[in-house]
Amino acid sequence: MRRRTFLLAGLGTAGSLFVGWSLTPPRQRLRPSDTPQPGGGAVPLNGWVAVGPDGRVTVMSPKAEMGQGIHTALAMLVAEELDCAWSQVQVVHSGVDRIFNNIAAIVDGLPFHEDLDGNAGVRAVRWLTAKTMREMGVMMTGGSSSVRDVWDTARLAGATARAQLVAAAAARAAVPASQCRTDGGVVYAGAQQFTYGSLVNDAASRRADDVTLRDPKHFRLVGRDATRLDADATVRGTARYASDVRVDGMRYAAVAMAPTFGSTVQHVDKTGVVSRDGVRAVVELSGGKFGHLPGVAVIADSWWQAKQALASLTIEWTPSPHASLGSDGIMQQLRTAAAGTDGLPFRSYGGARDVVADSTRVVDATYEAPYLAHATMEPMNTTVRVNADGAEVWTSTQVAGAARTAVAATLELPDEQITLHQHTLGGGFGRRLEVDYVAQAAEIAKALPGVAVQTIWSREDDLQHDFYRPATVTRLRAALDANGAVAGIVTQSAGQSPFQALSKRLSIPFAAYAPDKTTAEGLFDQPYEFPALHSAHTNVELPVPVGSWRSVGHSHQAFCFESFLDELAHEAKRDPLQYRAQLLAAHPRARAVLDAAAKASAWGTPLPPTNDGQPQARGLALHSSFSSTAAAVAEVSLGADRRVRVHRVVVAIDCGLAVNPNGIRQQVEGSVVYALSAALYGDVRIEGGRAAVHNFNDYRPLRLSECPEITTIIVPSAQTPSGVGEPVVPVVAPAVGNALFALTGSRVRALPFGAMREATS
């Protein structure tokens, strides 16, 4: 018990180091180490905003655009304060700079309710955490943290730039700055007016000291629907993803990676391949610590030639030490660990374990979730050119700094000699938090110095060499009193730790001692009040690569917890809505979200049969994550062969102040579809030491005809904006599962749902 206290306290203290950092005035995040080069003659006024002579405003975004709409939201924050016309704004990806380090995500990574106890050894853990964050690179787009992270700084960047422009105009018109006003990219100074473009050169050298941010009551852009700034390029096909990069003299690479976990190249027979049409080189890859695998790449004049040549290679792989590893065995191993009682507790109060042990009425249920792949629409790819004085990289990543470091380390060059061009991501979902594909592209391009080599994965490569959402088994036990009310809950989950896997790959010492909040999040950090709770997790080491999958631990633990809560409601013979409402009595914000979803879905009223005459039922779930709370009501029926059909999903979300309501609705819709794909079909089976999925035929995404009607309620809030991209994902599977129980009386405790088995109870 002593050691556990130390561990959690340690992370808390390491966290406070970063909290202190986050309290650094946002002003200090305005000045970059290097002068930005936004291009087009635009003059930077700080690290975030540049204005061109034509008045065009360029916002430099440290956040990667991957469909979540951050470029539009960030531009709204800047433009709100800058007083430029919305039509003047464009957004580009910024360079890598420490001012862009993501503080919100680090603070969010701390376990809530930590059992703090100042302690010896804390410094060691602080060092460990700091080193890990440095290695990962904290210029990160993820953890639903972007708007939170830039909320103050982006507005300040706009306000400061505006003040500089006003100062320049005031000097020119010889009036006090207080007699100037701004609107639509123009400064009105006394009787004169100046466009921002005409002032920018002068403004760049001026200081702006007394800058105050606009009162939210007077927001003109923030809080109103904005459509995406990048929409036109998308509908014309002119958007440029990393795989669309074209560089003079470039070549293309296709790659074969170790097919089974832990195997490597034994022998490659290159006979006949190097003389094939267009082939430039065959490269053996050693792989390395960034998670890039051993393998063989073929570089050719076109990707199709490379792919064909690769297929004609005979590659012998060393036998996998995990050749017998399969999903059945893995799940059995996880079930055994979840049945134990020795997990690391993330929260423990009220003597929950004793309460459950001593109770005569215990509900005991075990839930299971499989491995999942991200399956971004754009397969992994990166272009690298190794030059005499460094290297140039064209890629799309959620961690630009770490990607640069991965290339630098692979080429044995300092970071500063690597120029990274960030492109819009053809989907991220956490997959592009890994830099394996970037390091690999560097290893391949090294074979042809001076030549830009674009390495592109096939869909099969993408699905078989992902960093999967960990498979997890969670056992939940609740002691009930005579009235059926909860006296205490004990959760014991088991699965791999993505954080530890990453730390070990990067050879960070003591990694095994760092608790990974993501393993148990969703169980110990929910707003419900129970008299006693004990939430523990056992890390099970397995050779399957694991990583962050949209909403991370919440993605599966919400299914376990919210389904279990539904069981408890039924055990207590209570309506699931009323049951949750009572547990949320002390949490009015969460309660309001629950009520909003219930009201919009007409919870409690009868549902008519479907068009084909099948009965429908509703299911409810609520979950807090990424500082936001979401609730969903799903309406489901069974089709032919008892196939699960979801007709409508009503979602309510409290994500603080809604910067761009339209963007939030997009993310809610996207979250429902992404989560429903996983809930209905997602299952990366492991067979023979490898992932047994290949393409969209056996890793099935939801399709348009299966997409439910989606209704979004944004609960009004004046609080600081919180997460949007992920918090809705967790509620979807439990809402569907709870609806299936209401419909059939059968409780499905393992994902995916697929087709319902015949009712057994």
Partner 1 sequence: MTDRNDLPGSAPFMLNINGAAVPVNASADTPLLWALRHDVGATGTRFGCGMALCGACTVHVDGAPVRSCSTAVRTVVGKQITTIEGLTGPVADALRQAWTTVDVAQCGYCQSGQIMSAAALLATTPSPTDADIDAAMDGNVCRCGTYPRIRAAIKAAAAQLSTVRSSA
C-beta of 191: minimal distance to partner 1 in Å? 40
φ/ψ (deg, to 5) at 704: -55, -40
Among 153, 263, 376, 497, the residue binding partner 1 under the rule CB under 8 A is: 376
C-beta of 451: minimal distance to partner 1 in Å? 13
Among 201, 227, 336, 720, the residue binding partner 1 under the rule CB under 8 A is: 227
C-beta of 709: minimal distance to partner 1 in Å? 7
Whichever of 207 and 236 has its CB closer to partner 1, that residue is: 236
Binding mask 302-331 for partner 1 (x = CB under 8 A): xxxx--------------------------
φ/ψ (deg, to 5) at 110: -80, 140
- The piece of 32-40, 61-69, 262-270, 309-317 that touches partner 1 (CB under 8 A) is 61-69
Q: What distance lies between CA 312 and its chain's CA centroid?
A: 38
Among 424, 539, 555, 717, the residue binding partner 1 under the rule CB under 8 A is: 424
Q: How crowded is residue 250: how many other Cβ atoms within 10 Å of its Cβ?
A: 15
CA dihedral sign of residues 272, 275, 278, 283: positive
**Bridge partners, 617 (sequence order):** 636
- The piece of 1-9, 256-264, 358-366, 375-383 that touches partner 1 (CB under 8 A) is 375-383
Question: Does 458 help bind partner 1 (rule: CB under 8 A)?
Answer: yes
Among 121, 427, 484, 661, the residue binding partner 1 under the rule CB under 8 A is: 427
Question: Does 239 help bind partner 1 (rule: CB under 8 A)?
Answer: yes
C-beta of 697: minimal distance to partner 1 in Å? 6
φ/ψ (deg, to 5) at 644: -75, 130
- The piece of 88-96, 261-269, 275-283, 618-626 that touches partner 1 (CB under 8 A) is 275-283
**How far apart are the C-alpha atoms of 711 and 708, rounded to whole Å?**
10
User: Pairing mode, if any, of strands 690-691 and 192-195?
Assistant: unpaired
Question: Does 117 help bind partner 1 (rule: CB under 8 A)?
Answer: no
C-beta of 321: minimal distance to partner 1 in Å? 31
C-beta of 546: minimal distance to partner 1 in Å? 20
Q: How crowded is residue 304: how many other Cβ atoms within 10 Å of its Cβ?
A: 12
Give the DSSP H/E element, type plus range, for residue 351. Answer: none
DSSP letter, residue 700: P
Whichever of 65 and 434 has its CB closer to partner 1, that residue is: 65
Among 237, 249, 608, 613, the residue binding partner 1 under the rule CB under 8 A is: 237
User: Pairing mode, if any, of strands 533-539 and 617-625?
Assistant: unpaired
Among 92, 402, 710, 743, the residue binding partner 1 under the rule CB under 8 A is: 710
C-beta of 42: minimal distance to partner 1 in Å? 24
End-to-end CA distance of the chain, in Å? 41
- The piece of 4-12, 41-49, 261-269, 270-278 that touches partner 1 (CB under 8 A) is 270-278
DSSP letter string over 409-469? HHHT--GGGEEEEE-B-S--TTGGG--HHHHHHHHHHTTSTTSEEEEE--HHHHHHT--BB
Question: Does 709 help bind partner 1 (rule: CB under 8 A)?
Answer: yes
Binding mask 680-699 for partner 1 (x = CB under 8 A): ---------------xxx--
Rounded (5°) CA angle 383-385-391: 115
Give the contacts of 507 (CB within 8 A, at least 6 positions apart).
Answer: 289
**How far apart are the C-alpha atoms of 405 and 393, rounded to whole Å?**
11
Fill in the amino acid letter for 656.
Answer: G
Task: Respond yes or no on whether the N-terminal peptide bond of residue 606 is cis (omega within 30° of 0).
Answer: no
Whichever of 460 and 529 has its CB closer to partner 1, that residue is: 460
φ/ψ (deg, to 5) at 478: -130, 130
- The piece of 140-148, 242-250, 628-636, 714-722 that touches partner 1 (CB under 8 A) is 242-250
- The piece of 6-14, 369-377, 503-511, 517-525 that touches partner 1 (CB under 8 A) is 369-377
Rg (CA), the chain: 27
**How far apart are the C-alpha atoms of 665 and 710, rounded to whole Å?**
9
Contacts with partner 1 by CB under 8 A: the residue count is 66
Q: Of 66, 154, 71, 141, which is closest to residue 401 (Cα–Cα)?
A: 141
Fill in the amino acid letter for 622.
Answer: L
Question: Does 235 help bind partner 1 (rule: CB under 8 A)?
Answer: yes
> Which tokens hold the place of 525?
């950090």
Among 669, 690, 726, 739, the residue binding partner 1 under the rule CB under 8 A is: 669
C-beta of 674: minimal distance to partner 1 in Å? 6
Whichever of 532 and 678 has its CB closer to partner 1, that residue is: 678
- The piece of 94-102, 341-349, 418-426, 516-524 that touches partner 1 (CB under 8 A) is 418-426
Fill in the amino acid letter for 222.
Answer: V
Question: Does 575 help bind partner 1 (rule: CB under 8 A)?
Answer: no
Question: Does 375 help bind partner 1 (rule: CB under 8 A)?
Answer: yes
Angle at which helix 661-680 crosses helix 729-744, to 10 degrees, equals 50
C-beta of 254: minimal distance to partner 1 in Å? 11
Question: Does 67 help bind partner 1 (rule: CB under 8 A)?
Answer: yes
User: Pairing mode, if any, of strands 279-285 and 344-349?
Assistant: unpaired
DSSP letter, residue 317: E
Please classify residue 633 by burial: count the beta carbons closer than 10 Å to its beta carbon, then call 0-12 exposed, 13-18 middle and 19+ buried.
Answer: buried
Question: Does 277 help bind partner 1 (rule: CB under 8 A)?
Answer: yes
Whichever of 309 and 631 has its CB closer to partner 1, that residue is: 309
Among 13, 46, 68, 627, the residue binding partner 1 under the rule CB under 8 A is: 68
How many CA atoms are closer than 13 Å to the CA of 220, on its beta-carbon side? 12
C-beta of 430: minimal distance to partner 1 in Å? 12
Q: Of 48, 136, 142, which is closest to residue 95 (Cα–Cα)?
A: 48
Among 707, 714, 750, 756, the residue binding partner 1 under the rule CB under 8 A is: 707
Question: Does 437 help bind partner 1 (rule: CB under 8 A)?
Answer: no
Which stretches of the chain bind partner 1, using CB under 8 A? 65-69, 227-228, 230-241, 243-244, 246, 252, 275, 277-278, 280, 301-305, 375-379, 424-429, 456, 458-459, 662, 666, 669-674, 677, 695-697, 701-705, 707, 709-710
